[in-house]
Every structure is written in structure tokens, then in C-alpha cells.
């Protein structure tokens, strides 16, 4: 795989967007295949979108990729591309297509509306997952060790936080991290870390920033 090939994975609603920046499909697929191999358990039953921008992908190549994904219980739900051959290949396989530029425009629009929006994740997150959002993040499930959740605003977890969380990443000192069980491997608010001492929480808690120190208080004591 070329050093110039870059794969990023981001959650969009109930799907995962795989954005690959390579010069050929072989390079892109190597990066995607490696990611699937390393995160097979997490990706089970996932729906993915593959964005290859202007890279040409033949119908046989895309068919092989789809079959490989199916073997890992993964569905390619859409392909984003500006390349006519790639769009034709996807159409032959019944896979929806959409221009990468349109998706980028939508992403920018969502970023501009971030103060009024929230990302909802309806599943537990396994090791190797990165959630990186400008808006509030609400997770209905556990955040396991090896997971990193970052947000410019608040992080609310209806489950256990055992991984890393960074709320108020852009400097919002009013941001909070809430969880039904707060035992993170790392936690920051506006760049300030929580003391790493081991904890045994007995109730839902909230991490807040108070006088330049991250403190943990019972969730029930938060006033709105």
C-alpha cells in the first residue's frame, strides 16, 4: 500500500463512511481490507459507505469487494465517486452512488449546524473505534477500553465509559462527560485531564470542569 493512501472511518447515522485517498483501487482496497481485518468484530452487521472520489473501480473489482464484506457480515450500502466507471460498476451491482462533493457539502453543513445537533450512536463501541464530532455525542451502549470519543461539546453515555473521552475539545469549559459508570482510561474537558486514579463508582456520574480542575459529581446533582 502506498504511503500516500489514507483511509479515514467516520460514523454517519447508522452507517460508517470509509473515505480512501489513493491513486488506484488496489491501494484503496488494501487499506479498507486491512481495516476490516483489524476490526472484524466491531464491524459485524455494519453498513458501510465507500468514498473513493475519482478512482476508477471495475464491476468485477467492486463485486469482489462486496463479496469479501458479506463474508464478514458487512454491507456496502453506497459508493461515493466522481468517476463514471465506478458509478457504472456500482449501478450494475445495485449499489447506490453519490458524488463525493455532495457528501462533503453535507458534512460542512452539519458542522455549521453542530451547535443545534447531536450524533446518536445506538450500540456499544469496541476497541479501535474513534468517534470525532463537533456536536454533542450521545451513546446508547458501553464505550470499551481502546475506544476514543472526542467532541467539541458534551459526551453523554447511557452505559459504561471504559475508554477515552474528550469533551469541549475546542475549549468549551462548560462541556461535560456523563456516564452510568465512569471508569475511563482517559478523560479530558477542554484539554484538561482527569486525575488518573482508579475509581469504583456506585452511581451515574458527570465529569465537569471547575476552577481548572476536572471533578466528578453524581449525575443527579446536575441542574439544568
What's the pTM? 0.50
Long-range Cβ pairs for the range 148-152 (8 Å, 24+): 149/125, 151/175, 152/114
What element of type H or E holds 88?
Answer: helix 84-92
pLDDT of residue 108: 45
Query: What percent helix, strand, coil does the chain show, rounded to 5?
Result: 25, 35, 35
pLDDT of residue 221: 62
pLDDT values of the chain reduced to their tens digit, one per residue, 224 residues: 443 457 877 766 677 888 888 889 999 999 999 889 888 877 888 889 999 989 999 999 999 999 999 999 999 999 988 899 999 999 999 998 865 445 544 544 444 444 457 888 989 999 999 999 988 999 999 999 999 999 989 999 999 999 999 998 878 888 999 999 999 999 999 889 998 666 777 789 999 988 889 999 998 766 54
| CA–CA separation, 29 and 57 (whole Å) | 10
Please name each of the domains of the chain with its CATH number: 6-110 (3.30.750.24), 114-221 (2.160.20.70)
Render pLDDT for 44-100 as a digit per residue (tens, 0 to 9): 888 899 999 899 999 999 999 999 999 999 999 999 888 999 999 999 999 988 654
pLDDT of residue 202: 78
Amino acid at each position: 500500500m502506498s504511503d500516500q493512501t489514507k483511509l479515514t472511518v467516520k460514523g454517519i447515522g447508522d452507517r460508517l463512511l470509509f473515505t480512501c485517498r489513493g491513486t488506484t483501487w488496489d491501494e484503496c482496497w488494501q487499506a479498507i481490507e486491512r481495516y476490516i481485518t483489524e476490526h472484524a468484530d466491531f464491524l459485524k452487521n455494519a453498513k458501510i459507505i465507500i468514498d473513493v472520489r475519482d478512482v476508477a473501480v471495475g464491476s468485477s473489482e467492486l463485486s469482489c469487494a462486496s463479496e469479501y464484506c458479506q463474508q464478514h457480515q458487512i454491507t456496502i450500502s453506497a459508493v461515493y465517486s466522481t468517476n463514471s466507471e465506478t458509478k457504472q460498476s456500482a449501478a450494475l451491482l445495485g449499489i447506490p452512488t453519490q458524488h463525493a462533493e455532495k457528501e462533503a457539502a453535507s458534512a460542512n453543513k452539519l458542522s455549521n449546524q453542530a451547535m443545534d445537533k447531536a450524533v446518536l450512536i445506538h450500540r456499544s463501541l469496541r476497541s479501535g473505534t474513534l468517534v470525532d464530532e463537533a456536536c454533542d455525542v450521545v451513546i446508547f451502549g458501553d464505550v470499551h477500553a481502546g475506544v476514543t470519543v472526542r467532541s467539541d461539546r458534551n459526551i453523554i453515555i447511557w452505559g459504561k465509559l471504559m475508554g477515552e473521552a474528550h469533551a469541549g475539545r475546542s475549549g468549551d469549559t462548560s462541556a461535560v462527560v456523563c456516564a452510568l459508570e465512569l471508569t475511563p482510561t482517559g478523560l479530558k474537558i477542554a484539554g484538561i485531564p482527569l486525575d488518573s486514579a482508579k475509581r469504583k463508582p456506585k452511581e451515574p456520574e458527570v465529569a465537569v470542569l471547575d476552577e481548572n480542575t476536572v471533578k466528578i459529581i453524581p449525575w443527579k446533582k446536575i441542574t439544568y
